[in-house]
Amino acid sequence: MTDVAAPNGPRIAPSVHRGLVLPVALLAAWELSSRLGLADPRFLPPLEIIARSGWHEMMEGRLWGDLLASLRRDLSGFGLGATIGIALGTVLGLSRLADRILTPWFNGLKQIALVAWIPLISMWFGFDEAAKVVFVALAACIPVVLNTQEGVRAAPLPLIEVGRTLRFSRTQFLLRLHLPAALPSILTGLHLGLIYAWLATVGAEYFMAVGPGIGGLIIAGRERFDMPLVLLGILILGCIGFAIDRMAGWIEHRLIRWH
């Protein structure tokens, strides 16, 4: 099926529309069950009350501050993790010695659940912003390393032979052959890294010291048994995660349209 396009507008994938059907249906069922008394409004309040709670938080200035804090934390951790991931994945993909030495260790460490790193990160970096950024970076780094390594290794042999014929230097092999050939795989890793980074941002805010952020908003609602505030935070997390996924997919498609 082809994309739906306005005459002079952007193309809109039908899959996006289909993906919205279930969330909209769930929200409609939520609203009906709350209005008709099928669910206890103390645990599942109507959407109007949640929207009113969001408006109150926004007018007080807390919601924007929490959202910006989470996004800043997310992007900082993702930037750090992506940089380390691309560098490490490139080394593992190009160097057989590094692959033999480091890959078994990396494969073992990636099996450890992310939340298990929180005590160690807290002891090394404290409970401040630095610890949260490091935790997010760790989550983002893993898929970037794996996909970069795979992409660098998958450089077509005919292109490598051409590079040897032209007597490329190591730098020319890296910049003109391996990295361009690995670009689709690297972008896939970055896409996954963005998603993992957002999930880790929420985890860092929830399990580490409470501070500004959507995770802190949810914790505040839980402690006050303010269910509209808790559900507001959850809905915001879902919407931001969906937006990040769609934005990353759009950028990936634009950059490797030739592929």
Q: Which residues lie across from 4 on neighbouring strands?
A: 12
Task: Work out how many domains the chain is built from and give that number.
Answer: 1
Q: Which residues contact 219 (CB under 8 A, 6 or more apart)?
A: 205, 206, 210
Give the CA-trace dihedral at 161, 162, 164, 166, to 10 degrees: 170
Name the nearest CA neighbour of 146 among 184, 95, 109, 92. Answer: 92
Q: Is residue 70 part of a domain?
A: yes
Instruction: Confirm whether 155 is domain-assigned.
Output: yes
Would you mind telling me the total number of residues written for the chain in this entry?
259
Residue 35 lies in a domain: no
| Assigned domain for 144 exists | yes
Cα gap 213→142, rounded to integer Å: 24
Domain of residue 132, residue span? 46-51+61-255
Question: Taking the mean position of all CA atoms in its chain, how far away is CA 210?
Answer: 21
Residue 44 tokens read as 């599942």
Q: Is residue 17 part of a domain?
A: no
Determine, yes or no, domain membership for 83: yes
> Model-level pTM?
0.81
Residue 9 lies in a domain: no
pLDDT tens for the 259 residues of the chain, in order: 444 444 444 444 555 566 677 777 887 887 787 777 777 777 888 888 888 888 988 888 888 988 999 999 999 999 999 999 999 998 888 888 888 888 888 888 888 888 888 888 888 888 788 889 999 999 999 999 999 988 888 877 777 777 677 777 777 777 777 778 788 889 999 999 999 999 999 888 888 766 788 888 888 888 888 888 999 989 999 889 989 988 988 888 887 765 5
How far apart are alpha carbons 168 and 176 in whole angstroms? 9
Could you tell me the CATH number of the domain that includes residue 110? Answer: 1.10.3720.10
As beta bridge partners, residue 12 has 4
Assigned domain for 19 exists: no
